[in-house]
Every structure is written in structure tokens, then in C-alpha cells.
Amino acid sequence: MVKKTGKRLLLGFSLSVIAVGTLLYFLAPSFNLAINNAASILATADIKRMRIFIRSFGIWAPIASMGIMIFQSLASPLPAFVVTFANAWVFGWKAGAFYSWTGAMLGAGICWAIGRSFGRPVVEKLVGGSSILDRTDSFFKDHGTHAILIARLLPVMPFDVVSYAAGLTTVTFWSFFWATGLGQLPATVLYSWWGENMTRSGKTFLWGITGFMVLLVAAWAFKRRAITQAAETEV
């Protein structure tokens, strides 16, 4: 009963966010303009423009940055790193990481709820076809319970597609939530620190690349562990 109640609350929250956002988009010109600007900046991966855009919201900039991250999560395949870097420039890497991580988690939860509630046909339309979803399905099948954590540690895995696809599986929301939160945190901190310091020196670039490689190694280690455990279970 508790699980069903929690699922209903999550679904209700997700649908409310989508409904309110849709109404504002069509009825509020300023909101419509903001969404179109955000989409344009994300599509061109222009970090400098995103920084200026977030700052334009004044005291509401933290809320705006998290809202943009949620929008990015829903609108596949717009890149999240643009917002993460821009947040670090505007708020500093610590606060920027918090806003980026929180926005990403909210967006991930909504994507999961959409996948769980509306099924594969809707998700295929949202992610741009079945081929990318098929590849994600194979990844989930190969790595089992560790799949979400590994996917979050891999910088090359599309964040939104993984979130939508997880909703189509038997993975519970809280398992998905904690795996996403834990797996997303290292990359968010790394990109935020890198974003705040990216213009200072070549050393920063070197440390950024090193951190990126550490994430890849960590994901590979979790992947190998998952394969080993799966093999032991079969025996």
C-alpha cells in the first residue's frame, strides 16, 4: 500500500509539472520565450550564453537553473553538461554542483515516472525512436541490478534515455533514485569544479581529463563486478 501510494504521488507530481509547464508554455509569452531560449542554447552547447541566461533571472537564478536541468532531462537529447558548467561559473562549483545534481535528480524522477506510467510507445517518441532504446535495453539486460549505477558513471550514456528506460523495467523507484544519485554525483562534482576553473590554466584541463578517465575506470570496475556476480549466480 505504501509503495502504491508513493507511486501515485510521484506520478501526480510528474503529471502536474508537465501540465503546468505545458500550460505556461502556451499561455505565458515570457515562459515560452525562456523555454525556447534554453532549448536554443542547449542545442548549440553554448556555455557562455547559458551562463548569461541563468544570471538574467536574478534572485531566481537557482530555481531557473534547476528548471533548465529538468527541461533538459525531459527533452532528449539536449546535453546536461552545458547547464552544469554554467552553474559552476554563476554560483561557484559547490553551489553549482548542488543545483545541477538536484535538478538532474528531479528530471530523472519525472522521466522514470513517465516511462512507468505511459509505456514504451510514448518513451520511443520522446527519445527519438526505438533503436537507441533497444541499445539501452540490451545494456540493462547485460548488467542487471548494477546497470543504472554503471550507466550513471559512464559520461557517454544518455542521461534521459536511461531514466526513461528504467521506468520500463521492474526496477523500483527508490532503487533507481539511489543508483542515479550515487552514480551521478562524481560526474556532477567533477564537471562543476572543472567548469569553475576551466578558463584558468592548462592544468585544469589536465585534471578534468584525469577525472573523466577515473569515472570511466570506476564504471568499468562496476561492470566487471556485475558480470562476475552474474556468472557466479548462474553456477
What's the pLDDT score for residue 102?
95
Residue 18: which of 84, 61, 67, 76 has the closest Cα?
67
**Could you give the CA distance from residue 73 to residue 203 in angstroms, rounded to a whole number?**
31
Nine cell digits for residue 169: 523495467
Residue 214 confidence class, pLDDT cut points 50, 70, 90: low
Q: Does the structure show a pLDDT above 60 at 219? A: no
pLDDT band at 107 (very low <50, low <70, confident <90, very high): very high
pLDDT of 190 reads: 81
DSSP 145: G
Report residue 224 as a C-alpha cell: 566487471
Per-residue pLDDT tens digits for 199-213: 554 444 444 555 555
6 phi/psi in degrees, rounded to 5: -65, -40
- Grid cell 527508490 is found at 174
Q: Compare 119 and 227 and report the one with higher pLDDT.
A: 119
Residue 104: give the domain boundaries: 2-234
Candidates 85, 121, 47, 100; CA nearest to 193 is: 85
> What percentage of residues in the chain have a pLDDT greater than 70?
78
Model confidence at 223: pLDDT above 80: no
For 55-103, the pLDDT digits (tens) are: 999 999 999 999 999 998 888 677 888 898 899 989 998 999 999 999 9
Q: Using omega within 30 degrees of 0 as the cis cutoff, is the peptide bond preceding 77 cis?
A: yes
Residue labelled with grid coordinates 500550460: 23
The model's pLDDT over 117-157, given as tens digits with 9 standing for 90+, comes to 888 888 888 887 778 888 888 878 777 667 888 888 776 67
Confidence (pLDDT) at 153:
75
Sign of torsion over alpha carbons 172, 219, 142, 110: positive
- What the block records as the C-alpha cell of 197 is 576553473
Q: Which residue has the higher pLDDT, 42 or 76?
A: 42
Q: How far apart are CA 165 and CA 163, in angstroms?
A: 5
Q: How confident is the model at residue 51 (pLDDT cuts 50, 70, 90)?
A: very high
CA distances (Å), origin 47, targets 33, 50, 67, 188: 19, 5, 16, 15
Domain count, the chain: 1
Which amino acid is residue 158, in one-letter code?
P
| CB 104, CB 183: distance < 8 Å | no
Cα 74 from Cα 55, distance rounded (Å): 23
Phi then psi dihedrals of residue 211, to 5 deg: -65, -40
Residue 37: which pLDDT band, with cuts at 50, 70 and 90?
Answer: very high
Classify burial at 208, counting beta carbons within 10 Å of its beta carbon; exposed 0-12, middle 13-18, buried 19 or more. middle
- Report the amino acid identity of residue 116: R
Q: Extract the C-alpha cell encoding 125.
A: 517518441
User: What pLDDT score was predicted for residue 60?
Assistant: 95
Could you tell me which residue, 53 or 15, shows the higher pLDDT?
A: 53
Q: What is the pLDDT of residue 203?
A: 44
In this structure, the number of other CB atoms found within 10 A of the CB of residue 78 comes to 20
